[in-house]
Amino acid sequence: MADTDAKASNFIRNIIDADLAANKFAQRRWSGQPGPATSLKVSHGGTPSEIDTAKIRTRFPPEPNGYLHYGHAKSICLNFGLALDYAGACHLRFDDTNPEKEEQEYVDSIVDAVKWLGFDWGPNLYYASNYFDWMYEFAEYLIQSGNAYVDSQSADEMRASRGTLTEGGKASPYRSRSAAESLALFRRMKAGEFADGAHVLRAKIDMASGNINLRDPAIYRIKRATHHNTGDKWCLYPMYTYAHPIEDALENITHSICTLEFEDQRPFYDWLLDKLAEGGLLQRPLPQQIEFARLNLSYVVLSKRKLIQLVEEKRVDGWDDPRMPTLVGARRRGFTPEGFRRFAEMIGVAKADAWIDMSVLEGCMRDHMNETAERRIAVLDPVKLVIENYPEEDEELCEAPNHPQKPELGKRPIPFSKELWIEREDFAETPPKGYFRLFPGNTVRLRYGFVVKCTGCVKDDTGHITAVHCIYLPETKSGTPGADSVKVKGNIHWVSAKHAYAAEVRLYDRLFKVESPGAGGRDVIDDLNPESKRVITAQLEPALKDAQAEERFQFERHGYFVADRIDSKSGTPVFNRAVTLKDSWTAK
Ligand code: ATP
Ligand code: MG
């Protein structure tokens, strides 16, 4: 599925290019299975001395505690995209070292979302919790080599002695514990002899460091929690900052790409892996952490906490509500994987935080669907058009192209009869200036059909227009020699009333009405766009009755729509608007 156009260069590609030019990974060995350097001798099923054939290895490491969102799509496209471009491999790794709230439902939805975006991890699907034994062994090594100690201060004491940004920290009285004493305590921690929080294992680095993350960070804590994979085997869990570099190294990752907030953690990442390599537990070259700016999108909220609030307070119809910035939501909305990949390519990767306007993402979706979606006719706000001089019992077929720029997609017949549905706004009893559509005495073309002349309208007792009347000019049918005999300025769409398919159509728009929802201490709820969802019954051309779930169309003059993948039944699809034909927000 690799996109064919050349990829723009960026600082990450420059790093990879330089590493490859320097042959940095030439001597790297990989058993084909995650593991420490020692496991190259103990076969895990792969050929131990095999030279890694992948030129580079990246990974996408989600924590299975929520649904993926637009921001994750940027990271997925980046990591899998680099692997594709450089004949490398990208691992899908569930970062499930935290025993809190990790569920199969999330694992499944993440697998689906990455596949949906068009990426394939091949055999490289991993769970970080499978590495707990190695993480523990490595911790014992750190203790034995004088690089870690058990601290028995309270959490408050530890916080108080950590120092500030400008002032160094104070050493814990337990820092000078002997390795033997720490090791014995650590083993008893593992055996469950102590209460949660009674002791922690800390790396022994530098309490005076200007980087707080190097002031003896905690690497293991006691926590009695059942883990979804390892059950109650452990009452001791590694901290994320300790676990993550090890996961990368065990999987032989070459470039570990993460978001900017981990920049200050990089020295610890390097320190840790270096110590473990010194001890022969890991092989060099070690993975390298590279940070890039996360995706910030205007009009969109990506914070997990706020997304949970929207779902729990039922402000949206669940995680896959088409207005949600989740990938399951995007999929129901009709957004396309190709659109996301283009978006990722277009915004690129940079080192500095920036905001991208939502119109850029919508534009990528629109452009892709403009190229690929077949055209169909839909009347969203219908009013009858009665053709006075067309025989009641007659009907005939007109022809409409499926795609104006792609004649190879062919044409389809659309039935024409005496009564049609047209858009209510395509008639005006008294036309405003510059109005070229239907008004009494005016002629317009019924697109792909005939030229008609408006004769008036019918109203009910309240003055509401119930039908528009006209006569048609039989010699003006589109595609026949007489089609051009009458010149008109207006061109409107229609569907035959007796053939039309009346369907539920959801007109979705942006979930938030302001650029930075929740800014300035406001509750995001106050920034919701009250018009983000409108459900209507539209009159659609009959061909749309056969639309398959997830099939996308341009409804002419309206926008891009998809047959909802959940609510569509065979023969009665319902449609969601993905994006309008034009951007109406940027102008506002
Ligand atoms: P949290 O850490 O709050 O649970 P998260 O969104 O960071 O949530 P992870 O599962 O840790 O979720 O993220 C997986 C990967 O996606 C990480 O590598 C992270 O850097 C990346 N990622 C998350 N949010 C964004 C974003 N807005 N832009 C780009 N990458 C992102
Ligand atoms: Mg995270």
Walking along the chain (588 residues) 10 residues at a time, the average pLDDT comes out as 62 97 86 80 45 87 95 98 96 93 87 98 96 98 98 96 94 98 98 97 97 98 94 96 98 97 98 97 95 97 95 97 98 98 96 94 98 98 98 97 97 98 97 96 98 98 97 96 91 98 98 96 96 98 97 98 97 98 82
Give residue for tokens 């014992």: 140
Q: Ligand 1 pocket check: which of 59, 72, 351 to mutate, most ligand atoms within 8 Å of Cβ?
A: 72
pLDDT tens-digit readout, 517-529: 999 999 999 999 9
| Pairwise CA distance, residues 261 & 279, whole Å | 29
Active-site positions read 63, 294, 304
Give distance in angstroms: CA of 62 to centre of ligand 1.
7
The reply to whether 304-349+358-374+503-579 and 378-493 are identical in fold is yes
Q: Quick check: CB of 259 below 6 Å from ligand 1?
A: yes
> Nearest residue CA, atom 25 of ligand 1?
71
| Pairwise CA distance, residues 276 & 220, whole Å | 16
Pairing verdict, β 89-94 and 552-555: unpaired
Just give the CATH number of 11-132+239-296: 3.40.50.620
pLDDT tens-digit readout, 242-264: 999 999 999 999 999 999 999 99
**Other Cβ atoms closer than 10 A to 509:** 16
| Pairwise CA distance, residues 493 & 422, whole Å | 6
Given this model, what pLDDT does residue 203 score? 98
Superfamily of chain region 133-238: Glutamyl-tRNA Synthetase; Domain 3 (3.90.800.10)
In 302-450, which ranges are E strands?
355-356, 374-376, 378-379, 382-387, 395-401, 411-417, 419-423, 443-446
> Nearest residue CA, atom 2 of ligand 1?
63
> Cα–chain-centroid distance for residue 510?
16
Q: Ligand 1 pocket check: which of 68, 75, 101, 261 to mutate, most ligand atoms within 8 Å of Cβ?
A: 75
Pick the CATH number of 378-493 from 2.40.240.10, 1.20.120.1200, 2.40.30.20, 3.40.50.970: 2.40.240.10
Q: Quick check: CB of 63 below 6 Å from ligand 1?
A: yes
Q: Quick check: CB of 189 below 6 Å from ligand 1?
A: no
**Other Cβ atoms closer than 10 A to 403:** 17
Given this model, what pLDDT does residue 6 score? 63
Q: Which two tokens stand for residue 148?
A: 């870690």
Just give the CATH number of 304-349+358-374+503-579: 2.40.240.10
pLDDT tens-digit readout, 440-461: 999 999 999 999 999 999 999 9
3-state secondary structure at position 288: strand
Given this model, what pLDDT does residue 482 score? 87
Q: Quick check: CB of 72 below 6 Å from ligand 1?
A: yes
Give distance in angstroms: CA of 112 to centre of ligand 2.
19
Q: How far is CA 518 from CA 66, 299, 326, 401, 405, in A?
A: 21, 10, 18, 46, 43
**Other Cβ atoms closer than 10 A to 523:** 11
Half-sphere exposure of 289 (CA within 13 A, CB side): 23
Task: List the domain boundaries for the chain.
Answer: 11-132+239-296, 133-238, 304-349+358-374+503-579, 378-493
| Pairwise CA distance, residues 104 & 101, whole Å | 10
Q: Quick check: CB of 304 below 6 Å from ligand 1?
A: yes
Q: Is the dihedral of CA 280, 19, 264, 260 positive or negative?
A: negative
pTM assigned to the model: 0.94
Give distance in angstroms: CA of 71 to centre of ligand 1.
7
DSSP character at residue 435:
-
> Cα–chain-centroid distance for residue 581?
22
Are 512 and 344 a contacting pair, CB within 8 Å?
no
* Backbone φ and ψ of 329, nearest 5°: -70, -45
| Pairwise CA distance, residues 455 & 467, whole Å | 11
List of residues 6+ apart from 292 with CB closer than 8 A: 12, 78, 257, 258, 259, 260, 349, 350, 351
DSSP character at residue 482:
G
Question: Residue length, the chain?
Answer: 588
Q: Classify residue 108 as left (phi > 0), alpha (psi -120 to 50) or beta.
A: alpha
DSSP string, 78-135: HHHHHHHHTT-EEEEEE---S-SS--HHHHHHHHHHHHHTT---TT-EEEGGGGHHHH
Give distance in angstroms: CA of 424 to centre of ligand 2.
49
Given this model, what pLDDT does residue 104 score? 86
**Other Cβ atoms closer than 10 A to 285:** 14
> Nearest residue CA, atom 9 of ligand 1?
62
Q: Which of 328, 308, 316 is nearest to 65 (CA)?
A: 308
Q: How far is CA 361 from CA 74, 180, 338, in A?
A: 11, 57, 11
| Pairwise CA distance, residues 351 & 496, whole Å | 56
Given this model, what pLDDT does residue 32 score? 81
Give distance in angstroms: CA of 564 to centre of ligand 2.
31
